[in-house]
Structure 1
Amino acid sequence: MTDANQRDAGDGLAYPCGTPPERGEAREIAPGVRWMRLPLPSDSLTHINVWAIEEHDGHTLIDTGLGNEDTIETWRTLLAGPLAKGITRVIVTHLHPDHVGMAGWLTRRSGRRLWMTRTEYLQCRVLAGDTGHAPPDEAIAFYRRAGWDDATLESYRNRFGTFGRLLSRLPASYRRIRDGERIAIGAHEWEVIIGAGHTPEHACLYCASLKLFVSGDQVLPRISSNVSVLPGEPDADPLAEWIASLDALSRRVPDDVLVLPAHNQPFTGLHARLARLAASQQHALDRLHATLREQPRRAVDTFGALFSRAITSEDASTYGLATGESLAHLNYLVNRGKATVKEDDDGIAWYRAA
């Protein structure tokens, strides 16, 4: 049970919305704005928050949950109950399956459109197209370069192409949303604010009149967003994009908003959270740089400098996320002249402090 005024000591955040809604409940947390939770099959993240904004002829939905039968059953309960008025449109913040997974099912059922940024929609279509295929040689070389051994690579081969199985078929067209666009939803105007780093073109929504900010995965209160380099763009610098996004959000969104994140609970104290995330990131980069001073390291050798718990290849999903995040930090240092990288004769990359 969460106290309605719970505050985490020392972090400047408060959680004024009380206990989360039960499955099938749509809790009103601001005029016409309802908070719902959908289940996730994970021990670390058991739910995703999704939002409904009431209009005269239905509800705008923001994010949709993972594409599976458990989520479908929850949506059926919501659409037969608190959301029986119907759906006017489906807005998705970004391409990850827990956000876009049910977008196709909901848009086909309602006859309404999917609203999404262009990069997120198109990249989602590309990743879904990998379903059932073997991983490309470039992906195997990418993870071998990072230091994966043969057993871990074989596990990756066996798991590759599962992205599309986590979502219902996307609609073949969508309505593009852009940074700075203002969307009338019900009685209020919402501004699209684009972030990057976690994904390439992540959409957040800010309503000045209601003092609400839908942050998706761009700002979370209790965990940090994964920022990874992926095989399709091995030279990417997503950490620089994410740090720039934190700074932009602190300038574009005032501190007096109620933040509606994709995970954990709605909170106040946006600017304190942004500052804490930025400081934590700098500390991680400093630790990594110090580690690279000791001796050359592969990406998989840097986990101890970046993560508070042990990362092993037995947990394949976490190992992959940790590899991508380590590469994001290493690319950041290399691109700023603070580290160098050299491949050995086996194609494995070794990093050292410049």
Structure 2
Amino acid sequence: MNPLEHKLTYPLDKQLPEPGRSLELAPGVRWIKMPLPFALDHINLWLLRDNIDGQDGWTIVDCGVTRDEIKEQWEQVFVNELDGLPVLRVIVTHMHPDHIGLAHWLCERWNVPLWISMTDYVTACYWTTSTGGSSNGGQATVDHFSKHGLRVPETLEEIRARKSYYVGLVPRVPAKFVRIMDGHQIDIGGHKWEAIVGYGHSPEHMSLFCADKKVLISGDMVLPRISTNVSVPNYEPEANPLQLYLSSLDRYQPLPEDTLVLPSHGRPFKGLHERIAQQHQHHQERFDEVLTACVTPLSAFEILPIMFKRKLDTHQTTFAMGEAIAHLNALYFRGKLSRTLSDDGIYLFKTL
């Protein structure tokens, strides 16, 4: 456990749900853990006891990626953890593959609606098309990263081959949805869960907070061990997502100090305000590093070893490049960095 984690509290200590089983965290709130085929090897999913139109059952929050082994684990959950009751709806915090991947299957399996923000729903729909799938990966990403200094042929070829990455994990999404908006009070089992919008990590991420239970399903907006990925995508190269993310964190400040945070990765914890402060400090330290380094003009690719000390595989490099550009863009829009295009077509940033 790193020093920052020591400042957080983990009420379940080292307990983890077994495959196909759940752990109850609060009355009517159960934790499921599913594997992921990445370096980040798991996602946390949630079962909430519910009643809709007089029918008892469960709401699922987030879904896992589309893989047969994940479907098999869900089937075990249905047998072991639903108390003989049906699933009544599926809520998805945002449109990334590990969250929405199996939404189509779960909704069809139980004939229930998908609840999600409109922006993330539309984005997911677009990314599952051949046009959208190519726009968020493959050659478009190669061109984006090349302009920011990544010119390693082997890495670019591996990135180019990832043009079907999203569609491979999210083959399709439900044809209909129920829109979640910021401040929406969703009645789940007689308890109000407030939707809290977050920007920067996805187009319109929705966390859920229940004041009665003092429980926050934070999705990917607040994580205990790692920092949330905030990237500038190829289809919005002038975006400033890091500023949006940092501003979004402050939306959680009014929540009680003893809120139990249910993150998508890592263990449930208490210490929300401490973790928010840690994230602000983390990004300020990265800003300081970038400003110091960019006394000499540098590209985002040249910033990578400054921001990321460990060896990165291609999957991790795509996230790291997106984050490096996000930090550079944030400082550029704050007027702390200048940006020029070199003779060989690479953006170089210099401290002002």
TM class, shorter-length = over 0.9
Match of 1:109 in 2: 109
Match of 1:49 in 2: 44
Match of 2:317 in 1: 319
Could you say what secondary structure the match of 1:233 adopts?
Answer: coil
Match of 1:307 in 2: 308
The C-alpha deviation readout for 1:77-105, integer Å capped at 9, x for no partner, is 11122124111110000111111111000
Q: 1:96 to 1:132 in 2, by over 3 A?
A: closer
Match of 1:15 in 2: 10
Match of 1:213 among 190, 211, 216: 216
Q: Please tell me the residue identity of whatever aligns with 1:333.
A: L
Alpha-carbon distance between aligned partners in 1 of 2:196 and 2:347, rounded to the nearest angstrom: 36
Match of 1:263 in 2: 265
Match of 2:20 among 17, 24, 31: 24
Match of 1:340 in 2: 338
- More moved, 125-134 vs 231-240: 125-134
Match of 1:164 in 2: 167
Q: Please tell me the residue identity of whatever aligns with 1:94.
A: H
Match of 1:75 in 2: 74
Alpha-carbon distance between aligned partners in 1 of 2:140 and 2:133, rounded to the nearest angstrom: 17
Q: Please tell me the residue identity of whatever aligns with 1:190.
A: W
Shift, 1:62, TM fit: 0.4
In structure 1, runs of 5+ residues without a counterpart are 1-5
Alpha-carbon distance between aligned partners in 2 of 1:202 and 1:248, rounded to the nearest angstrom: 13
Q: 1:264 to 1:138 in 2, by over 3 A?
A: closer
Shift, 1:12, TM fit: 2.2
Shift, 1:138, TM fit: 4.9
Match of 2:282 in 1: 280
Q: Please tell me the residue identity of whatever aligns with 1:177.
A: I
Match of 1:3 in 2: none
Alpha-carbon distance between aligned partners in 1 of 2:4 and 2:277, rounded to the nearest angstrom: 16
Alpha-carbon distance between aligned partners in 2 of 1:221 and 1:213, rounded to the nearest angstrom: 13
Equivalent pair of 1:8/1:14 in contact (CA under 8 Å): no
Equivalent pair of 2:4/2:278 in contact (CA under 8 Å): no
Shift, 1:168, TM fit: 4.4
Match of 2:203 in 1: 200
Alpha-carbon distance between aligned partners in 2 of 1:38 and 1:74, rounded to the nearest angstrom: 8
Shift, 1:64, TM fit: 0.5
Equivalent pair of 1:68/1:167 in contact (CA under 8 Å): no
Shift, 1:231, TM fit: 0.2
Could you say what secondary structure the match of 1:15 adopts?
Answer: coil
Alpha-carbon distance between aligned partners in 2 of 1:325 and 1:349, rounded to the nearest angstrom: 15
State how 1:177-188 maps to structure 2 within 5 Å: 177-188=180-191
- More moved, 253-262 vs 145-154: 145-154
Equivalent pair of 1:24/1:78 in contact (CA under 8 Å): yes
- More moved, 88-97 vs 44-53: 44-53
Equivalent pair of 2:138/2:163 in contact (CA under 8 Å): no
Equivalent pair of 1:11/1:273 in contact (CA under 8 Å): no
TM-score with structure 1 setting the length: 0.92
Match of 2:242 in 1: 239
Q: 1:136 to 1:63 in 2, by over 3 A?
A: closer
Could you say what secondary structure the match of 2:156 adopts?
Answer: helix
Equivalent pair of 2:338/2:349 in contact (CA under 8 Å): yes
In structure 2, runs of 5+ residues without a counterpart are none
Q: Please tell me the residue identity of whatever aligns with 2:120.
A: E
Equivalent pair of 1:105/1:168 in contact (CA under 8 Å): no
Q: Please tell me the residue identity of whatever aligns with 2:106.
A: L
